[in-house]
């Protein structure tokens, strides 16, 4: 059965690494649902977080193939029960005197922040798990969405020591 899996890939911070990792998944016929890249506490290491769909056996093969790339330090699956997963959404919604109060109430319910307000629109910021962002978009989508940007998942395992041996 195909399910969504989150991988964290620690890589040497060199140009072209992201392209090599992404193309590896593409060559194998897998669409990346979400991809984020960030610096770590070590300036020589970056973290790539990927969300992909597939069954356990095929995803294990992708993990093994990724580990073979030269700049890869470590690849590990994120256990959703032992980790924090977050995503950021910025959404610009058409707003006027008739719907501004309703949009504010929806934002408040979802603990979102209104980060910009103009005569004819609002920009709302929401951070949370992907299902919370999906639910928010379903409700706010009843209003005219002018544009939006979604970061993709980023994740860290809970606790000081992780199962992959890094502290």
Domain boundaries, the chain: 3-77, 84-154
What is the value of pTM for the model shown?
0.81
- Which pLDDT score is estimated for 31? 82
Same fold for the pair 3-77 and 84-154? yes
The yes-or-no verdict on residue 165 having pLDDT over 60 is no
The yes-or-no verdict on residue 49 having pLDDT over 90 is yes
* For residues 22-46, average pLDDT: 88
- Which pLDDT score is estimated for 5? 87
* For residues 119-138, average pLDDT: 97
- Which pLDDT score is estimated for 54? 82
Bridge partners, 37 (sequence order) = 48
Superfamily grouping for domain 84-154: ACT-like. Chain A, domain 2 (3.30.70.1150)
CATH of 3-77, one of 3.40.50.620, 3.10.20.30, 3.30.70.260, 3.20.20.120: 3.30.70.260
Give the CA count within 13 Å in the CB-facing half-sphere of 165.
5
Share of the chain above pLDDT 70, in %: 95
Nearest to 162 by CA among 52, 10, 22: 10
Bridge partners, 7 (sequence order) = 50, 77
| pLDDT-derived band at 167, boundaries 50, 70, 90 | very low
């Amino acid at each position: 059965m195909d399910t969504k899996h989150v991988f964290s890939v620690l890589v040497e911070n060199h140009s072209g690494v992201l392209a090599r990792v992404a193309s590896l998944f593409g060559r194998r016929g897998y669409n990346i649902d979400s991809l984020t890249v960030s610096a770590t506490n070590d300036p020589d290491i970056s973290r790539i977080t990927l969300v992909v769909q597939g069954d356990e056996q095929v995803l294990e093969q992708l993990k093994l193939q990724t580990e073979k790339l030269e700049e890869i330090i470590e690849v590990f699956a994120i256990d959703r029960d032992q980790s924090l997963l977050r995503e950021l959404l910025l959404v610009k919604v058409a707003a006027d005197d008739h719907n501004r109060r309703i949009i504010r109430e929806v934002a408040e319910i979802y603990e979102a922040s209104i980060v910009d307000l103009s005569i004819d629109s609002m920009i709302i910021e929401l951070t949370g798990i992907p299902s919370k962002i999906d639910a928010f978009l379903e409700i706010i989508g009843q209003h005219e969405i002018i544009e939006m940007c979604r970061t993709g998942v980023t994740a860290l395992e809970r606790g000081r020591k992780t199962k992959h041996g890094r502290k």
